[in-house]
A and B are shown apart, each in its own frame.
Chain A
Amino acid sequence: MDNMTPVLEVKNISKDFFGNQVLKNINFSMEKGEILGLVGENGAGKSTLMKILFGMNEIAETGGYGGSFFLDGKEAKFTSPFDALDAGIGMVHQEFSLLPDFTTTENIVLNREDRKKSSVLSDIFGNRLDTIDRKAMEKNAIEAINKLGVDLDEDMLVSQMPVGHKEFTEISRELSRVGMKLLILDEPTAVLTESEAETLLMTMKKLSRGGISIIFITHRLHEIMEVCDKILVMRDGVIVSNLDKDKTSIPEITKAMVGREVKGGEGNKEGRDIEKLPDVMKIEHLWVNMPGEIVRDFSISVKKGEILGIGGLAGQGKLGIPNGIMGLYPAGGKVTFEDKEVKLNNPDWCIKNGLAFVSEDRRGVGLLLDESLEWNVTFTAMQAQNKYLKPILGGLIKWRDQKAIEEATNKYIKELQIKCTSSKQKAKALSGGNQQKVCLAKAFALEPKLLFVSEPTRGIDVGAKALVLEALKKANKENGTTIVMVSSELEELRSICDRIAIITDGKVEGILPASSSSEEFGALMISAGKALKKETEK
């Protein structure tokens, strides 16, 4: 029965960041030589789970985790990644951790260099000063590279390598460790070309035959289907499906990824007839160079008074659209708003002409963390529209009107139920949900004709979520604000939008009314996988 002990068994793992639950009751196990595919939207908790398994410091620093996990039947308690390495877990991160000016060999055996017989120095100062044995190092490195089955030059400097080779160097390094049992690959194919990715997948199969278990995280579903034995789908910090590769299909995985429950959420069935509404904004051949969210060729017309949803899988470019139009990332193409051509790359023009944007990056773009709520709410309107200012000397001096600022801020605090001690409190002192409400208040203070909201409910609790969505609906209904909402939460889009455009690879894949079923949306998103697959075949 001994060989039946799973390599990894995870029992009831949970984790919260200061009250914000990111993982709940995670249970799964892995056999020797098994490849486990882990999929889920951004923020589903995949990375946090992997950080726990790898003993990363930030887990302990933020209060540890609940539950436990077992390696070969023994409970693992890691206080640092070194413990994880010793226990036979290797991890290749999304970002490379390589020394650019060292060669492949040096990187692979770093800190585990072979040593020659002790020198005089090491006799005196201990074995940290042993002379290293370059020949033996090279031999070990080549062995690891061969195990991987790729063509790597062992003498090349990392800084001169193409990205794919860097990735392979990282994997070789993990493989060269003695007693490697479990390899965690966090989106390894994201930076690889198709042929390199293909090589990697083949290597993974070879490794698994050699008895190494692999946890494979990726957004490319066809890769999962190609190599994995089992597939875990995570969503909102829980495992929603545990699927067998042979008994599932890409549509089923996608549905599990994007839908809270398969038959859950009702679409927005208010059934407004938006077809008859006039166009308010026409976007033609928009491209945006936003790293990680590149928009390639996006065209759509936004109807006056509608709520348009923009969805799609992570990295397909949906976030780039509002960021590009509002001038935060370099953009091109033609956008007309109310018969005026929008000046791209010019936030000032956009705000002055009735556009507003609630950014997905609250702390980076959305807020002045070190300033009061008053400033956060009123600043943009003050600067772009000369609101909350008192003219002095016939308008020569524009004096800040403290009274008007306070009134406006308090009005929004009440309206949006922002929990704070006073309007003077600093934005950084608020919780995520309340910060998001402040961002909304900032946009409402502009009284925009068209409002872009990007991931308005990311990382905030359920109560705040409902409030934020309600506020958006209200603004749309009562003030006639046209809203373009970008979100990874399909259910959320379906609940408030009139129609939803799905973005794949920076282009519109299709536009459906919100009342369409999850399956239909899922089908649109999967074509992402199909398209990539086609490219691979080419």
Chain B
Amino acid sequence: MKKEIAQSSVKEKIKGFIDSFGWPRLIIAGFLLLLFLVAPLGGISILTSISDVLMRFGMNSIMVLAMVPMIHSGCGLNFGLPLGIISGLLGGTLSMQFGFTGGVSFLVAILITVFFGTLFGWAYGVLLNKVKGGEMMIATYVGYAAVSFMCIMWLLLPYSNPQMVWGYKGTGLRTTISTEGYYLHILSDFLKIKIGNLEIPTGALLFFAFFAFLMWAFLHTKTGTAMTAVGSNPTFAKASGINVDRTRTLSVIMSTVLGGIGILAYQQAFGFIQLYMGPFYMALPAVSAILIGGASVNKASIPNVIIGTLLFQGIVTMTPSVMNSLIHTDMSEVIRIIASNGMILYALTRKSEAK
């Protein structure tokens, strides 16, 4: 008898663990582990793989972090991330246009990004306050519209830096612009650690840690607490004297600015600024990463960001190399799409449960 009871309690514990951790996260973590286990069979160096994952973590994590404030304030997942990314693109290109180089160009890029991010974020926030309940749908279209509008603007804006404009015409920005000579690897190479095949982009990780700390600290302040409460129960917040709309707008501004800074961190590691349709595809990976990390549509934390980005980028890095070496067909894109879209679908269906 006693044994049975003990067994059932173990069972319950496991069940409780699975429930709290969530099946999808468990499956993805298991899959990633499997990939690392079979990697040596395909002749792939695990250390190189880990380096890749870390590099991609540094590239993408701030954009994932950008999801946090809007989730806290109840605006849902920021499918309008491309708007933030566009402010980052403006920051990067303007900084280059003004002739700054090296580290200074990165700093200037951040400053310009913060300016445009605040401006765009404010307008975006005002819009989202008018469509309470349908934020995520509207956000998606804000992203689409912003990208398309900027497709025109990249051609029309009077940029003249020869490294950036189309060579044959002398006007209009190219689709990809190299950051070489400006802020290429400005973070990744800072205090970089290299042990054999293992490379750790310390600077990029510290850069993320800095913003993650700011976010964590913000959520512990009076205003941050108010933001969480607004997301949890707007009527309660209103009855406590909080200006709900202003708090929501603030969260959207934060999210937009972080999206912009996130793309700068991405560009310095990647080596190129991707214009035109580039920002179009950036929102979904960030959204699914934070969901894989265990966030829901109305709750998110810094650990969610870290775990989620590691898992998501792990899959993205590992599947092409391992799959290709094992079965000689490129399944990676398919698996990535299934994982990211499946995760979003799962989270959206769980939305009502959380309430």
Interface residues of A (CB under 8 A from B): 326-328, 347-352, 357, 359, 364-371, 375, 379-380, 382-384, 386, 389, 397-400
Contact partners of A351 in chain B: CB under 8 A: 240-241
Min distance, Cβ B353 to any Cβ of chain A, angstroms: 12
B233 partner, pick from A327, A347, A367, beta carbons under 8 A:
A367
Cβ contact within 8 Å between B225 and A382: yes
Cβ contact within 8 Å between B236 and A367: yes
- How far apart sit A113 and B233, CA to CA, in the bound complex (Å)? 45
Cβ contact within 8 Å between B240 and A347: yes
Cβ contact within 8 Å between A371 and B228: yes
- How far apart sit A212 and B108, CA to CA, in the bound complex (Å)? 82
- How far apart sit A384 and B239, CA to CA, in the bound complex (Å)? 11
Contact partners of A359 in chain B: CB under 8 A: 239
Cβ contact within 8 Å between A400 and B225: yes
Q: Which residue of B lies closest to A350 (CB)?
A: B241
Cβ contact within 8 Å between B240 and A398: no
Task: Taking A347-B239, A379-B229 as given, write out 5 further A-B residue pairs in contact, using a Cβ cutoff of 8 Å, ordered by the A residue number.
Answer: A347-B240, A371-B228, A389-B222, A398-B222, A400-B222
A326 partner, pick from B232, B239, B298, beta carbons under 8 A:
B239
B235 sits at the interface (CB 8 A): yes
B226 sits at the interface (CB 8 A): yes
Task: Knowing A367-B233, A370-B232 are in contact, say whether A380-B240 is a contact too (CB < 8 A).
Answer: yes
B242 sits at the interface (CB 8 A): yes
Min distance, Cβ B248 to any Cβ of chain A, angstroms: 15
Please list 11 pairs of residues, one from A and one from B, whose beta carbons are closer than 8 Å in the complex, sorted by A's number.
A326-B239, A347-B239, A347-B241, A357-B239, A364-B235, A365-B235, A365-B239, A368-B233, A370-B233, A382-B225, A398-B222
B20 sits at the interface (CB 8 A): no
Cβ contact within 8 Å between B236 and A365: yes
Min distance, Cβ B215 to any Cβ of chain A, angstroms: 14
Cβ contact within 8 Å between A371 and B239: no
- How far apart sit A366 and B239, CA to CA, in the bound complex (Å)? 8
Contact partners of A364 in chain B: CB under 8 A: 233, 235
Min distance, Cβ A142 to any Cβ of chain B, angstroms: 42
Q: Which of A350, A357, A386, A398 has the most chain B CB atoms inside 10 A of its CB?
A: A398
Cβ contact within 8 Å between B229 and A384: no
B238 sits at the interface (CB 8 A): yes
Contact partners of A375 in chain B: CB under 8 A: 225, 229
Min distance, Cβ A367 to any Cβ of chain B, angstroms: 7
- How far apart sit A397 and B225, CA to CA, in the bound complex (Å)? 13
- How far apart sit A368 and B223, CA to CA, in the bound complex (Å)? 16
Q: Which residue of A lies closest to B235 (CB)?
A: A365
Q: Which residue of B lies closest to A384 (CB)?
A: B241
Q: Which residue of A lies closest to B218 (CB)?
A: A397
Cβ contact within 8 Å between A383 and B236: no
Contact partners of B223 in chain A: CB under 8 A: 398
B350 sits at the interface (CB 8 A): no
Cβ contact within 8 Å between A399 and B220: yes
Q: Which residue of B lies closest to A446 (CB)?
A: B240
B221 sits at the interface (CB 8 A): yes
Contact partners of B299 in chain A: CB under 8 A: 370
Interface size, chain B (Cβ < 8 Å):
22
Min distance, Cβ B299 to any Cβ of chain A, angstroms: 8
Contact partners of B235 in chain A: CB under 8 A: 328, 364-365
Min distance, Cβ B213 to any Cβ of chain A, angstroms: 13
Contact string against A for B residues 230-266, beta-carbon threshold 8 Å, 1 for contact and 0 otherwise: 0011011011111100000000000000000000000
Q: Which residue of B lies closest to A370 (CB)?
A: B232
- How far apart sit A375 and B230, CA to CA, in the bound complex (Å)? 12
- How far apart sit A368 and B235, CA to CA, in the bound complex (Å)? 9
- How far apart sit A384 and B237, CA to CA, in the bound complex (Å)? 11
B222 partner, pick from A326, A368, A382, beta carbons under 8 A:
A382
- How far apart sit A367 and B229, CA to CA, in the bound complex (Å)? 10
Contact partners of B239 in chain A: CB under 8 A: 326, 328, 347, 357, 359, 365-366, 380
Task: Knowing A371-B229, A399-B221, A400-B221 are in contact, say whether A383-B242 is a contact too (CB < 8 A).
Answer: yes
Task: Knowing A369-B233, A371-B228 are in contact, say whether A386-B222 is a contact too (CB < 8 A).
Answer: yes
Contact partners of B220 in chain A: CB under 8 A: 399-400
Min distance, Cβ A330 to any Cβ of chain B, angstroms: 13
Cβ contact within 8 Å between A348 and B241: yes
Min distance, Cβ A267 to any Cβ of chain B, angstroms: 32
Closest 8 pairs between A and B when the two form their complex, measured CB to CB: A348-B241, A380-B240, A398-B222, A347-B241, A368-B232, A351-B241, A384-B241, A365-B235
Min distance, Cβ A486 to any Cβ of chain B, angstroms: 15
Contact partners of A400 in chain B: CB under 8 A: 220-222, 225
- How far apart sit A359 and B236, CA to CA, in the bound complex (Å)? 10
Interface residues of B in 202-229 (CB under 8 A from A): 217, 220-223, 225-226, 228-229
Min distance, Cβ A47 to any Cβ of chain B, angstroms: 24
Q: Which of B226, B229, B233, B298 has the most chain A CB atoms inside 10 A of its CB?
A: B233
Min distance, Cβ A17 to any Cβ of chain B, angstroms: 20
Contact partners of B354 in chain A: CB under 8 A: 370
Q: Which residue of B lies closest to A392 (CB)?
A: B221
Contact partners of B242 in chain A: CB under 8 A: 348, 383
Q: Which residue of A lies closest to B241 (CB)?
A: A348
Contact partners of B225 in chain A: CB under 8 A: 375, 379, 382-383, 400
Contact partners of A380 in chain B: CB under 8 A: 239-241
Contact partners of A382 in chain B: CB under 8 A: 222, 225
- How far apart sit A328 and B217, CA to CA, in the bound complex (Å)? 31
Q: Which of B229, B232, B236 has the most chain A CB atoms inside 10 A of its CB?
A: B236
Min distance, Cβ A121 to any Cβ of chain B, angstroms: 36
- How far apart sit A110 and B225, CA to CA, in the bound complex (Å)? 51
- How far apart sit A348 and B212, CA to CA, in the bound complex (Å)? 31
- How far apart sit A382 and B227, CA to CA, in the bound complex (Å)? 13
Contact partners of A349 in chain B: CB under 8 A: 241
- How far apart sit A90 and B222, CA to CA, in the bound complex (Å)? 55
Contact string against A for B residues 294-322, beta-carbon threshold 8 Å, 1 for contact and 0 otherwise: 00001100000000000000000000000
Contact partners of A327 in chain B: CB under 8 A: 238
Min distance, Cβ B48 to any Cβ of chain A, angstroms: 42
A397 partner, pick from B221, B228, B298, beta carbons under 8 A:
B221
- How far apart sit A398 and B222, CA to CA, in the bound complex (Å)? 6
- How far apart sit A326 and B236, CA to CA, in the bound complex (Å)? 12
A368 partner, pick from B217, B221, B229, B238, beta carbons under 8 A:
B229
Contact partners of B241 in chain A: CB under 8 A: 347-352, 380, 383-384
- How far apart sit A386 and B229, CA to CA, in the bound complex (Å)? 16
- How far apart sit A364 and B299, CA to CA, in the bound complex (Å)? 19
- How far apart sit A368 and B237, CA to CA, in the bound complex (Å)? 9
- How far apart sit A383 and B241, CA to CA, in the bound complex (Å)? 8
B238 partner, pick from A328, A367, A384, beta carbons under 8 A:
A328
Contact partners of A383 in chain B: CB under 8 A: 222, 225-226, 229, 240-242
- How far apart sit A359 and B298, CA to CA, in the bound complex (Å)? 24
Cβ contact within 8 Å between B221 and A379: no
- How far apart sit A8 and B299, CA to CA, in the bound complex (Å)? 51
- How far apart sit A347 and B243, CA to CA, in the bound complex (Å)? 9
Contact string against A for B residues 339-355, beta-carbon threshold 8 Å, 1 for contact and 0 otherwise: 00000000000000010
Contact partners of B240 in chain A: CB under 8 A: 347, 351, 379-380, 383-384
Q: Which residue of B lies closest to A442 (CB)?
A: B240
Q: Which residue of A lies closest to B298 (CB)?
A: A370
Q: Which residue of B lies closest to A378 (CB)?
A: B225
Contact partners of B226 in chain A: CB under 8 A: 383
